[in-house]
Structure formats: C-alpha cells, structure tokens
Amino acid sequence: MADDYVRRTAITRLSVDDEQRELLEETISAWKRGCQIATDMAWNVCNAKSDVQPLAYDDVREQTDLGSQHAILATHQAAQAITGCIERKSNGKKISKPTFTAPTVKYDTRTMTLFDDDTVSLSTTESRVRCDLALPDADDGYQRQYLDSDEWSVTESTLTARDGDYFLHIGFRRHKNDTERNTAEDGTVLGVDLGIENLAVTSTAYFFSGRELTHDLREFEKVRAGLQQTGTRSAHRTLEQSSGRERRYVRDVLHRASNAIVNEALRYRCVVIAFEDLTYIRDRTSASWGHKWAFRTLYEQVEYKAEAVGIAVKQVGSAYTSKRCAECGFTADENRPTRNDFQCQKCESEANADYNAAKNIGMRYVRRGQQSSRRTGNSQLALKSGTVTPSGGFTAHPDGFEAEFMDKPHPPRANPSG
C-alpha cells in the first residue's frame, strides 16, 4: 500500500548529445500524442486505469511510436488527468477535457534504469539512450542520500525538457520504519501558501518575497527569446551560459526560501508543514512555466530538508483556500477585492490574502486529522501569537518566546534567509 512508503523526488539535469536530444524530443512528442489519444477516447466514458488501458492501448500503439510499456503509462496518465478533472468538478470548478502540452514523459522501472556510474538508461521511440546525470557538487548534492542508499528504491519518474535542457525527476521510495508507521502526525502544523507576489507565506506570518524572482525570471525569458531568435552558434553558446546562470540563481533563491520555511517550522515546534496541492497551481496563480517549476522544486527542497529534522511535509486540497475567511469560515469571491488583499464580507476581518490562505491551508490539514482513523485529531495550527484549534481554542506562546505577540502580516524581510 502507498501508505507504507516514504516517497521522495531527486532532480538532476541530464548531459545529452545531439542524437540523444533528438530521440528524447521525439519520445516527448509521441508521449503527448499518446496521452491525448487516450484522453480523447476515455473522456466522459471512464477514468479508472483498469478501464482506460484496455480501451485506448491499441490505438495509442497504432498511432504513435511509443513502446508497449510507454503506451500503458500514457493510458494511466490519461486516467489520472481525467480523475483530476472529476475531482475539480466536484469542488464546483469549471472543467474541460485535458490537453497535453507540457514537454514531459513518464518513466518507470521498465523504461528507465539507473546505474552506479551516475548514468541512466531511458527508453525512447527507437532505442535506449544512456546519459550522464549532471549532478551538483557533493556539498550541494542532496540527490546522493537517495542515489547512494540501498534503503531507497527507484519508482516512477518524469523527464522534463526546459530551455534546451533535460531534467530527470527521479522518484524514490522506502518502507516506513515502525516509528513513522505509528506516528499520528498530530501536533503543531505550519501552513504555507505559494504565490507570485510572495513566493512563500507561512501561517506564522513569515513572508518570503517573490518580486525579485518574478522580475528576474521575466528578464531571463526576454534574453532567452532574443538569443533563440538570433539562432547563431555564438548565440547558442551565450544561451547555454545564460541558462546556467539562471539555474544557479533560481536554485539559490529556492534554497534560501526552503531553509526559511523549515527554520520557521523548527522555531514554532511544528511536526507537519502543510502546502496546498500543487497539481493545478499554475492555473490558480497564472504562473509561468518557470514559476511552476520553482514551486515544485521549492516543495521538494522543503520535503527533504524537513525530513532530515523529523518534520513531515503534506499537501492538502486547494479549493477555496484563497476565498475562505480564516477567521469565520465565510467563503465568497468578493472576499478577494484585489490579488493582495483579503476582506471578509461577513465578519469584516482584513488580512494579506496570501497570509489568509496560509492559515486556511494549515487548518485544512488540522481538520483532516479529525476525520482520520490514523490520527488522534489533536493537531493545532501555528500562528505568530500562539496555536489555534478548529474549535477556536487558542493557546498563547509562553512568556519569553521570541515571536511578537501580534498575529498580523508584515512586509517582506530584507533578508529572507535570516
């Protein structure tokens, strides 16, 4: 069962030559076609993997160059996408048939093999390619704790093309130990909201500004577009250098943000960090592809850093977290007059919109514990001034606690990593 495993993702860039690049591009194109064929056939018909696969497998095989296992995986991806639409519809969201445009392709243990020499073999539409993993230096290489351990085994992974580079999101899992299996994951919860204006905001009113990242991502995009349009060999070399600078810069920002989130959880003695479900975050935030990648990478960085200090990281449903009043529970579109402001039309409570959402996200995980047979239901949400329960019970932080006794948002700090 999935609940018996701890799951993690390690991201690394691949070093590919021109021939490998062409094969991977062809495979990504075939994968998108295969997923779309299966979705077109199953839409309004079925959504279970066991139903979509026999319905669409033959057509995917006949109409694409995908191998048999990748054709199966494409039908499973279609089933997952359709299921997601059904869940969104049940939450009152408008839905339309999924379309597959992202430059990705899924791999499993039959279509991908990791080797001890830091290379990976990947199935393509023609033959297998064996690529080097472009791993970071040892002092920055969190991937090593998974790659070099017999405890972690490889599971389903995703290859993503971005700005001429290929990134492999390698899935790992290990069996939970007895302590993890028996942990109720009750206790103090830190809620985290991700966004554009503020990259991350916590329920304890810590703001990590996203303005600098947004500005620089746009600038990188302009430079990249100009170089791609030029198309000369010199422009291509400059593009590679620019992409390298962008990766290093974004990675530094995300490391500082993830450190800040984990430190905030430690400071408030939290046992869980709760994020909203990232599946449709690009739709909710109007984020660029670069931002979506940054959100996912930030989550994964928080996940492995938090695990190292004994803190669990969870995702909860995202429906209405931005429109629900964290004080009285009233939910309405009118509660969000602007992107940054939240003004409850019922209780007249006012707050920064991202901060209000962070409290809703954390409280949603707390409430989920009350319905779970695996948890005691004794969780509480961490605020700047104290902790609060779903019933409204409030416990102030003890005297001497370094947090200010003011549960209000404040401007982004000059040094977010401090």
Convert the pLDDT of each residue in 113-141 to its tens digit. 999 999 999 999 999 999 999 987 655 56
Q: Distance (Å, rounded) from C-alpha 229 to C-alpha 59?
A: 37
pLDDT of residue 52: 94
Containing 38, the helix (H) or strand (E) segment is helix 18-42
Task: Report the range of poorest mean pLDDT among 80-94, 187-201, 338-352.
Answer: 80-94
d(CA 272, CA 309): 11
Closest CA to 412 of 342, 355, 341: 355
Q: In the predicted model, is pLDDT for residue 355 greater than 70?
A: yes
Distances, alpha carbon 280 to alpha carbons 157, 164, 408, in Å: 19, 24, 28
Rounded Cα distance between 208 and 417, Å, is 9
Among 1-15, 270-284, 392-406, the range scoring the smallest mean pLDDT is: 392-406
At residue 36, the pLDDT reads 96
**Sign of CA pseudo-dihedral 306, 311, 312, 315:** negative
Identify the bridge partners of residue 14 per DSSP, sorted by sequence position.
133, 166
Q: Which of 5-9, 138-142, 155-159 has the lowest mean pLDDT?
A: 138-142
- DSSP string for residues in 1-36: -GGGEEEEEEEEEEE--HHHHHHHHHHHHHHHHHHH
Cα 414 to the chain's mean position, in Å?
26
- pLDDT 10s digits, 174-220: 887 766 665 556 789 999 999 888 899 999 999 998 887 777 777 66
> What is the DSSP code string of 49-75?
HHHHHHHHHHHHHHHS---HHHHHHHH
* In 231-373, alpha helices (H): 233-267, 281-285, 289-308, 353-370
Q: Is the pLDDT confidence value at 404 over 70?
A: no
Calculate the CA dihedral of residues 136, 137, 139, 141 and round it to 10 degrees. Answer: 30
Q: Quick one: angle between helices 18-42 and 68-90, nearest 10?
A: 50
CB 106 within 8 A of CB 31: yes
Of 51-55, 157-161, 314-318, the least confident = 314-318
Alpha carbon distance 410, 354 (integer Å):
12
pLDDT greater than 60 at residue 394: yes
pLDDT more than 90, % of the chain = 38
User: Lowest-pLDDT range, 31-45, 68-82, 211-225, 251-265?
Assistant: 211-225
CA distance 335 to 152: 45
Q: Give bridge partners of residue 136 from the DSSP assignment.
A: none
**Mean pLDDT across the stretch 365-385?**
78
Closest to 36 in 3D by CA, of 119, 133, 114, 102: 102
Pairing between strand 386-388 and 380-382?
antiparallel
